[in-house]
Amino acid sequence: MFIAILQSTLNKITHNKNQLIRALAIPMLLLILIEYLWELAHSTPLDVGLHIGWFIMYAIIAILTHRSMLLGQGTASIMALPSWGKRETAYIIRMIGYVLIIACTAVLLLIPMLGWLLFVVALLILAGRFALVFPAIAVDYPISFRDSWHITSGHTLLMTLIVIILPVGLALPTLALDYLPYGFVLLPIVSVALTVLTIAALSEAFRYLVPNYLHQPADDKYSFS
């Protein structure tokens, strides 16, 4: 199923490439600029602000990508400056909750000998099983962390491959750019492009696991249970 979802992701990106390019052009350029500045402002007071800016732009790009992949044409602003609303706020809140939940697995490191192994296993499982809340927010489908856990039951390996293994596998070859002339110029561009690809793959996993996402009760939006 992982291969099928990856193939579907690439097909959808190819089919929707014009909309994706127009919708993501400005947010991606801003994120690339932030990553360039990140390198220049490392270990300076500006570094904190750039981190915050990165998360904000990531949320906007993720929402636009999920909506383009799952809802199709005309669902994302075209060549517009990034805007902020309830959907983006909900996404950021879920991102913070997601990080806090996964951070709790660090207590496993206190276990002698097997702590690291248990930590890695828990990290892989939780990161994948709770990830459906993000495409759900983008399409206004009411899914809580608890719902995501139940929906992904029996699909732990699939979600781990999409949420953890795929991004890491795509990122590793980019390390070679550090050894190329002007590789520092290419790295942020490639990094952002791969980020969009992994977000799109999560969209397709959501489509597979939540086939009725287009038919949801509107009054349940942005529930944080």
**pLDDT tens figures, 115-173:** 999 999 999 999 999 999 999 999 998 899 999 999 999 999 999 999 999 999 988 88
**Residue 38 CB neighbours (<10 A):** 16
pLDDT at 144: 92
Nearest CA-CA partner of 155 in 98, 204, 214, 92: 204
Determine contact, residues 199/66, Cβ cutoff 8 Å. Answer: yes
Instruction: Write the burial class of residue 179 (CB in 10 Å: 0-12 exposed, 13-18 middle, 19+ buried).
Output: exposed
Average pLDDT over residues 187-211: 90
CA distance 157 to 125: 8
**Would you list the DSSP string of 127-168?**
HHHTTTHHHHHHTT----HHHHHHHTTT-HHHHHIIIIIHHH
Residue 220 pLDDT grade (very low, low, confident, very high; cuts 50, 70, 90): very low
The pTM (predicted TM-score) of the whole model is 0.84
Q: What is the DSSP string of 88-127?
A: HHHHHHHHHHHHHHHHGGGGGGGSTTTHHHHHHHHHHHHH
pLDDT at 217 over 70: no
